[in-house]
Structure 1
Amino acid sequence: MSNNGLLSLTSSMAGDIVVIHVNGVLDATTREQFSDYLDAAADDHGPGMVLDLGGVTFMDSRALGLIVHHWQRSTTAGGKFALISVQYPNSKVMWVTGLSERLPLFDTLDEALAAFAA
């Protein structure tokens, strides 16, 4: 668990997939914390990763860049990657950049895991 008051990060496992629960602000003030947590999760649990963004209250382009980096890192290593519970107003940058059409977005963890199994 990682919590600095602006951002809280926790993780759980769904089979061989690490699920990272993100709550709070993803911006310049939390970038390093977010980056370090994602790096450690990938190093500790392998390339399969789901980011639960349902608790995100704001996301800037730097945070989106980190998400894209981990998406590429995961898929290059042969893993699965998905974003779940993404809320438009809080993650607007994803739509403005067009990445909402490219990133693997699902409403729920079950939907993401079913897509991985297909």
Structure 2
Amino acid sequence: MNIKTEIKNNVLFVYLEGEIDHHTSVEIKEIVDRLYASNRLTHILFDFEDVTFMDSSGVGLLIGRYRNAMIGGGKVALIKVKPEIDKLMNLSGIYKLMKKYEDEQNAVANL
């Protein structure tokens, strides 16, 4: 799993590459939580373009970040979700908590 992050306009952008499973979700959580808290950010945007696999640990990761963002009055958004991962997101009900967008521009405009 490769993780790249960027902070722009009070939004933490998280670019993920590879598999999100039990092991990698812990690493993602630690990085995202540290950056989110230390920079006092409001919103988080996860880019799934290069994610090749995700299991229920990834769903738990997203729900935890959603809770953190909600406490601070923020939102979490997802972009570029592939069809095979989109199916898991739909089944889990994640889209009731956070929205998905086709690109960064639309996501940021709606945060």
TM-score, normalization: structure 2?
Answer: 0.88
Shift of 1:27: 0.3
1:50-92: CA deviation from partner (whole Å, max 9, x where unpaired): 1111111001101111101111210221123211111121353
- What displacement does 1:100 show? 3.1
The DSSP-based 3-state class of the residue aligned with 1:29 is helix
1:54 counterpart = 2:38: no
Q: 1:41, CA displacement in angstroms? A: 2.0
Residue among 35, 43, 53 paired with 2:37: 43
Runs of 4+ in structure 1 deviating by more than 4 angstroms, as ranges, are none
Which among 4, 10, 18 is matched to residue 4 of structure 2? Answer: 10
Query: Match of 1:78, SS?
Result: coil
SS at match of 2:110: helix
Who is 1:68 aligned against? 63
State the identity %: 23
Tell me the residue number matched to 2:14.
Answer: 20
Query: Which residue does the alignment assign to 2:27?
Result: 33
What stretches of structure 2 of length at least 5 have no aligned partner?
Answer: none
Question: How many pairs are equivalent?
Answer: 110
Q: Report the counterpart of residue 85 of structure 2 in structure 1.
A: 90
Residue ranges of structure 1 left out of the alignment (5+ in a row): 1-6
Q: Matches of 1:82 and 1:34 in 2, distance apart?
A: 16
